[in-house]
Structure 1
């Protein structure tokens, strides 16, 4: 039973039990979409409550936000937030060096320069000390990400923002339902941006996003920006006047109806996820050289992605580089039926779009700053995390994934029972 699958042994995860999908789509979702299709209120300026306004209301009620603005995707939500705050050419926005590309692109969409700060090695979120070192007179906002569903240190980041007169915009794309000292993430800064993309903890049937704020004026500005700068209100005739720069960032009614249906089941799903994932991580926590994702005191982690770090020296495998250890573990765990993968292959500042600074042509927005455009700098923690970690995505979000996760735990334990083989494979692959 302990013979590794890659060497001909039976896999720890039975093949017939691997097909656990996300999202879960049931008859209530289908009914919701059909009801929206038949309801006739498929545009934003229809009279009465529309599927879009219903989603906004329900999201605000569930999480306690004053204003929710539904948009086409999470990237649009970030860009609208920065636009509503007046971020533009000549400004800088501090973002983490480890995140999805949208976090770094949002400032560029506003012709502002993203400045990349390093991350905390445990939460994988912005390191407040490095953020403060990178503030300049041009800094206008800090954009923390609640990466993988783990709340960032918004207490310290908020304090830094207040002392320097900066806005705090939360990228909560992966973190609906996460809490920081009892407060829902996304509702702590001036704006919070969520994604409803189909892989997220609360998905729609494709793409979608939400922008939240407690500020009445900022909400009004963001709503104008969502639709061509116009004022769109139920019962008010559309005047087709653009009162400010705007885009077409609307979500459609069918996507909104699907997301509302998923939102109605979120609490039950989240309770099951917390139980399933906590049991899974508890089994792995004692394996030498393996660091499991952690919910820090005073926070609720919603486990959108599970990231594991590997330390060959702590596992008793001296002389093996972390990257080589991770590469061999990936091969062995996948052979056992655990779909581990890397998430982000390079730090954000090394993405070609930022490295080459082509931007909008002729180097904009960086050329706006002339010779004062900041250099990317080094991000050693981000680099180390990318080098020594693997992730599990999607399947664990299914509330019925408890038995599957226990098989995953069997696979990890099996591989760790064969660390001598791991060492030989790592040595042979040099």
Structure 2
């Protein structure tokens, strides 16, 4: 920023993700050559192989592949019977799909605050927001760290609620010996190209041990029809369904990636903790951690910043964040904010246009959900104001040396905190 050499050399900054190998190309070409380009072909396709492999990987009885992670969440709620007038508890900090999924079922998303360290649902706040309309809880394993499933499962059991795991960012993560996606009634994940397990575009997976739920999920993804290999399609809709199929090309690509997933994951677990260990002693920064009872998939790395710990009394956290954002990017570290506001402050939830005439909120008029206002989520708001994230580059299995350069950049910036302090104090 001041004209010197950046800590991260420019010639090593470009990192490809996902990694596309010759095996991936062969998998895609084999589908093209087969001519079975849709999942409802009368012969077996690569979709079934992906489902079987993912069920085995998560330790579940059934897996259902769908078009994307948002569709996975929507179909999960539909299979559980969530509908108009119901409420679904969702974390105030998450990707927008977590909050939209209930709306797609004409249910009201009820937001709960998060834990300041894990960034996942705060069980105490979840319990406070349960009403007689509540039907489900969506714990999001945000950034790759499993939510407090013990506490949330206890709450769900006491109140007769369903747990739908949003594991879109937590492929392979483990909570007390169980893979995420195998703990709730249904697990939903994403195969979007930025994810730890990607496909060539968009895709999603659902997991469950309940055969009846699995059947509803399969019916829901294609117009309510029963599609059986070796049998002609009858075009009979047996329940309300959508067109949420994944195509065999995407399934074949994801399955090829799955062949290398465990190896990539081991490398990430070798590369990322040493990087975080170098940052941990720096004052005023809190780095992500993994508790003893769970593993972290490290999909996103979020760092909280504390002006007071740097002796910057009176400086707003957002001012320090802006200064460090500018300086670190100048040194070659691609920091970003990711979310700009808590979910309940997004226009789709504040303006409540929904499906028209204010629905589904209008159906809940006079309830806590209808009266919920933005600004009642102090932890989520604080985390967004005082944190920066690192995304995607660290997913590459050979990112270890790059991450060490990132650590060099952090240490260099912390050696010049007087400059950062001047910038933060002068910020509007």
Relative to the length of structure 1, the TM-score reads 0.97
2:129 paired residue among 134, 155, 180: 134
- Residue 331 (structure 1) aligned with residue 329 (structure 2): no
Equivalent position of 1:26 in the other structure:
21
TM-superposed CA distance for 1:48, in Å, is: 4.4
TM-superposed CA distance for 1:64, in Å, is: 1.4
Equivalent position of 1:389 in the other structure:
387
Counterpart-to-counterpart distance in 2, 1:151 and 1:404: 26
Residues 109-258 of structure 1: pairs in structure 2 closer than 5 A: 109-258=104-253
TM-superposed CA distance for 1:297, in Å, is: 1.9
Of 191-200 and 41-50, the range deviating more from structure 2: 41-50
1:426 paired residue among 408, 424, 427: 424
Is residue 270–residue 399 contact of structure 1 (8 Å, CA) maintained in 2?
A: yes
Unaligned runs of 5+ in 2: none
TM-superposed CA distance for 1:62, in Å, is: 2.0
Is residue 41–residue 51 contact of structure 1 (8 Å, CA) maintained in 2?
A: no
Indicate the SS of the match to 2:244. Answer: coil
Is residue 175–residue 294 contact of structure 2 (8 Å, CA) maintained in 1?
A: yes
Counterpart-to-counterpart distance in 2, 1:346 and 1:376: 16
- Residue 319 (structure 1) aligned with residue 314 (structure 2): yes
Equivalent position of 2:372 in the other structure:
376
Counterpart-to-counterpart distance in 1, 2:163 and 2:310: 40
TM-superposed CA distance for 1:426, in Å, is: 1.3
Of 418-427 and 257-266, the range deviating more from structure 2: 418-427
Relative to the length of structure 2, the TM-score reads 0.98
Indicate the SS of the match to 2:156. Answer: helix
Of 254-263 and 56-65, the range deviating more from structure 2: 56-65
TM-superposed CA distance for 1:320, in Å, is: 1.4
- Residue 284 (structure 1) aligned with residue 279 (structure 2): yes
TM-superposed CA distance for 1:237, in Å, is: 2.8
Of 56-65 and 219-228, the range deviating more from structure 2: 56-65
TM-superposed CA distance for 1:333, in Å, is: 0.1
Residues paired across the two proteins, number: 425
2:34 paired residue among 26, 36, 39: 39
Deviations 1:317-374 (A, max 9, x none): 2221111000000000000000000011011000000000000111111111233343
2:46 paired residue among 39, 51, 60: 51
Equivalent position of 1:3 in the other structure:
none
Counterpart-to-counterpart distance in 2, 1:371 and 1:427: 45
TM-superposed CA distance for 1:37, in Å, is: 1.1
Deviations 1:48-96 (A, max 9, x none): 4311111111111222121010000000000000000000000000000
Indicate the SS of the match to 2:411. Answer: helix
Deviations 1:146-167 (A, max 9, x none): 0000000011001100000000
Equivalent position of 1:101 in the other structure:
96
Counterpart-to-counterpart distance in 1, 2:298 and 2:33: 36
TM-superposed CA distance for 1:429, in Å, is: 2.3
Equivalent position of 1:416 in the other structure:
414
Indicate the SS of the match to 2:328. Answer: helix
Is residue 42–residue 51 contact of structure 1 (8 Å, CA) maintained in 2?
A: no
Counterpart-to-counterpart distance in 2, 1:69 and 1:190: 14
Is residue 144–residue 170 contact of structure 1 (8 Å, CA) maintained in 2?
A: yes
Counterpart-to-counterpart distance in 1, 2:417 and 2:160: 52
TM-superposed CA distance for 1:137, in Å, is: 0.1
Is residue 58–residue 181 contact of structure 2 (8 Å, CA) maintained in 1?
A: no
Counterpart-to-counterpart distance in 2, 1:8 and 1:183: 50
Give the root-mean-square deviation of aligned CA atoms: 1.0
Equivalent position of 1:400 in the other structure:
398
Counterpart-to-counterpart distance in 1, 2:42 and 2:344: 46
TM-superposed CA distance for 1:422, in Å, is: 1.0
Indicate the SS of the match to 2:370. Answer: coil
Counterpart-to-counterpart distance in 2, 1:203 and 1:374: 37
Indicate the SS of the match to 1:314. Answer: helix
TM-superposed CA distance for 1:200, in Å, is: 0.3
Indicate the SS of the match to 1:237. Answer: coil
Indicate the SS of the match to 1:299. Answer: coil
Indicate the SS of the match to 2:36. Answer: coil
Counterpart-to-counterpart distance in 2, 1:322 and 1:45: 52
Counterpart-to-counterpart distance in 1, 2:113 and 2:329: 30
Is residue 203–residue 250 contact of structure 2 (8 Å, CA) maintained in 1?
A: yes
Query: Which 4+ stretches in 1 moved above 4 angstroms?
Result: none
TM-superposed CA distance for 1:47, in Å, is: 4.1
TM-superposed CA distance for 1:287, in Å, is: 0.4
